[in-house]
Amino acid sequence: MPGPTRTHLSDFRGAARMVVDATTGIAGIVEQMHRTIQVLPLPVGRAEPGATRGITGFVYRSVRGSARLVGQGIDLGLAPLVALLPEGESTPVRDAFVSAVNGVWGDYLVRTGNPLAIGMDLRHRDRPLDLDDLPNTFGSDGDSKPGGRLLVMVHGLCLNERHWTREGHDHGVALADALDYTPLYLRYNTGQHIGHNGRDFARMLETLVANWPRPVEELVILGHSMGGLVARSACHYGREAGHGWLRHLGKLIFIGTPHHGSPLERGGHRLDYVLEVSPYSAPFTRIGRMRSAGITDLRHGSITTDVHEIVPLPAGVKCYAAAATLASRRSVLAERLVGDGLVPLDSALGRHAKRERTLAIPRDRQWVGHGMGHLELLSRAEVYSQLHEWLQDRGQESGRAALRS
């Protein structure tokens, strides 16, 4: 039976920090409720700020202080063991758990320096690429040879690059084998602001294209769910920075991307508003507000730090949108409220009641699948068939020429 590794120790330290922070946070919520009951305000109105006093306040301060001391003791006690343990490899189960935690609390993990925070990297065959030494990276990868046509896959919220493989199928691998692409997979912390991830992704693509072992003939980005928003954000910030990789970008393909947001996040925001109406329920809004910046960005599909900024699709790039609905046939209820279970049809296709917010995705570059859910878009044969058809079209030279000008 294998022994403990640095990965195990790092995960334990990260989890311990989260438990400590959760304990202090819950103590704060209970204290706020206790104070509200003490002052007995009206059922409707604002809660009075402040902490409890006297012995009651001392008890709550003691609980928070003790939790922090225990957490610091665990962290300091385990730190010297790191150098004594061997490096450890991750597993699909661990990656799925860590990705989910980052999706819900990713910005908090980064802010507190938690070891569970995911960094951004590009991967090929389940291994991270060293963008500053790409020839040697591929040289050690057996029979893998870098081609001139790159297909970059960007996963969605709470997921990682392994989730592109579903029911034994991976759109990236299948498309690469059929159409001679080199598939690359982005791994990133989905709990951070989409604009933050987009800016970092743009910089990474600039380094990737500049250091690629052979001239890049074509770059295609395929984004699922939030991944499509991150791709759009990267185009926005790449253009602002004058990046060269945009000259190679021929196509952007969105799969179930909430361009105009998801009703689930808007529902969570409204629930926070309702809870704040009464001082007796207001403390519970702290729980709802613990969700990550990445999730809150999905309220309206914000891709920059300005949540109200309207960002059009990148000029000169062919954009495609694949959407799904759980219904077997078209209906207003299924398309506007249900969609694929997470994203309404209009949002996935870039349609909006306001013309200035509607994305210019031509109707012949839109596709709708019926009787399938959000994650089924990653594995259904008809989705792959449509992706294959879109990528088989080589007519993107005019788009790149427009970008060069």
β-bridge partners, 282 = none
Two structure tokens written together for 87: 């490096």
pLDDT > 70? residue 332 = no
Phi, psi of 19 (to 5 degrees): -65, -45
Tell me whether strands 121-124 and 127-128 are parallel, antiparallel or unpaired.
Answer: antiparallel
| Closest to 190 measured CA to CA, from 90, 109, 300 | 109
Tell me whether strands 318-325 and 249-255 are parallel, antiparallel or unpaired.
Answer: parallel
pLDDT > 80? residue 200 = yes
* Angstrom distance (rounded) from CA 14 to CA 114: 5
Strand arrangement of the beta sheet that strand 366-370 belongs to: 127-128, 121-124, 182-187, 149-154, 218-224, 249-255, 318-325, 366-370
Give percent of the chain above pLDDT 70. 75
SS3 of 331, please? coil
* DSSP conformational letter for 85: S
> Burial of 183 by CB count in 10 Å (0-12 exposed, 13-18 middle, 19+ buried)?
buried
Which pLDDT score is estimated for 187?
98
Cβ-proximal residues to 368 (8 Å cutoff; 6+ apart), any chain: 322, 323, 324, 325, 345, 349
The CATH code of domain 121-262+298-404 reads 3.40.50.1820
Average pLDDT over residues 285-304: 79
Two structure tokens written together for 213: 């072992």
Q: What rounded mean pLDDT belongs to the chain?
A: 82
pLDDT > 60? residue 203 = yes
Which pLDDT score is estimated for 26?
60
Q: Is the model more confident about 121 or about 339?
A: 121
* Angstrom distance (rounded) from CA 333 to CA 120: 38
Which pLDDT score is estimated for 216?
96
Phi, psi of 257 (to 5 degrees): -90, 125
* Angstrom distance (rounded) from CA 127 to CA 162: 11
pLDDT > 50? residue 269 = no
- How far, in Å, are 156, 172, 342 from residue 166 at the CA level? 14, 11, 18
Q: Is the model more confident about 44 or about 220?
A: 220
* DSSP conformational letter for 121: E
Give percent of the chain above pLDDT 90. 53
pLDDT > 50? residue 238 = yes
CA atoms within 13 A of residue 17's CA, in its CB half-sphere: 19
Amino acid code (one letter) for 172:
G
| Closest to 322 measured CA to CA, from 181, 399, 228 | 228
Average pLDDT over residues 258-287: 55
Tell me the pLDDT tens digit for each residue of 16-50: 888 877 777 666 655 565 455 555 554 544 556 66
- 72-76, 119-123, 151-155, 219-223: which range is least confident on average? 72-76
Each domain of the chain, given as residue ranges in start order, spans 6-97, 121-262+298-404
| Closest to 330 measured CA to CA, from 301, 360, 370 | 370
Q: What angle do CA 384, 193, 404 make, to 5 degrees?
A: 60
What confidence category does residue 160 fall into, taking pLDDT thresholds of 50, 70 and 90?
A: very high
CA-based end-to-end distance of the chain: 61
Average pLDDT over residues 81-100: 83
Average pLDDT over residues 236-263: 95
pLDDT > 80? residue 67 = no
Amino acid code (one letter) for 42:
L
Cα four-point dihedral sign 196, 297, 288, 378: negative
Average pLDDT over residues 196-214: 97
